[in-house]
Amino acid sequence: MSKWAKYPSLKNRSVFITGGGSGIGASIVEHFCEQGSKVGFVDIDVASSKKLVADMKAKGHIAPVFREVDLRNIAALQKAIKEISAEMGPFTILINNAAHDERHKIDDVTVEFWDDRQAVNLRHQFFTVQAIYKEMAAAGGGSIVNIGSSSWYLAQGGMPGYTTAKCAVLGLTRGFARDLGGMNIRVNHLVPGWIMTQRQIDKWLTPESEADMLKKQCLKEKVYPEDVARMALWLASDDSRMCTNQSWVVDGGWI
């Protein structure tokens, strides 16, 4: 028997997740599938995404529906949302997860690169909501979770395009919470700390960086994608029905 919570309100609910093919997004896909939700997701990593679909099906869950989409292409993104919704029913849960924390130096940033960082890390969050909120409202309401980052809270340097975009996710969340609250749509901001995805482990985790992280965290353990996924489940479920317009931090107590 699992020690983790089951949410009856998530069973058979239609969920849309961006960047669901790997890392935090893949864990979120897995956790919603385990709750009996109907999951649609987009990603640019076709191989990982197809493997995830096969794994969920092999475990006896409702197979998630995957579409290959570059989120910089808003028309393709909104087309995929429409197609998947027609297949599995109106979305009442949206998890805006996709992002890319590419490091960059101030002097190397061009106008084109800056705009690309905003497109990859921020712009698509607005346009997923634009594509989904009316069907969510017609279904009686729902939950939107916009995933941000602890990086800008910590004044982390070395990627100003990313930290600017992720800071703006908070403003986007609060504006949407006000605009959509009357439709019974909740909008929350989920803030991961340094999450031990395979990419983070491969690129940046060293004995020195791990020691520094654990020194700064109140809880002396590494934080993993499933820790973020379980918070996303709660925010999507009816258990959090009166929670909106807030930031929920999963970082071991670093911020």
Domains assigned to the chain: 10-197+225-246 (3.40.50.720)
Tell me the pLDDT band of 2, cut-offs 50, 70 and 90: confident
Q: Could you identify the residue written with the tokens 């990419």?
A: 199
Percent of the chain with pLDDT over 90: 98
Angstrom distance (rounded) from CA 252 to CA 255: 9
Q: Is the pTM of this model over 0.85?
A: yes
pLDDT digits (tens, 9 = 90+) for 151-208: 999 999 999 999 999 999 999 999 999 999 999 999 999 999 999 999 989 988 999 9
Tell me the pLDDT band of 227, cut-offs 50, 70 and 90: very high
User: What is the strand order of the sheet 38-43 is part of?
Assistant: 65-68, 38-43, 14-18, 93-96, 142-147, 185-192, 247-250
Angstrom distance (rounded) from CA 128 to CA 121: 13
Tell me the pLDDT band of 52, cut-offs 50, 70 and 90: very high
Q: Is there a contact between 39 and 64 (Cβ–Cβ < 8 Å)?
A: yes
Q: Which of 189, 19, 142 is nearest to 29 (CA)?
A: 19
Mean pLDDT of the chain: 97
What is the three-class DSSP state of 175? helix
| Phi and psi at residue 89, to the nearest 5° | 105, 165
Q: State mean pLDDT over 6-11.
A: 98
pLDDT digits (tens, 9 = 90+) for 122-134: 999 999 999 999 9
Q: What is the pLDDT of residue 167?
A: 98
SS3 content of the chain, % helix, strand, coil (to 5): 50, 15, 35
Task: Assess whether pLDDT exceeds 70 at residue 1.
Answer: no
Helical H runs in 59-123?
74-88, 111-118
Please list the active-site residues.
162
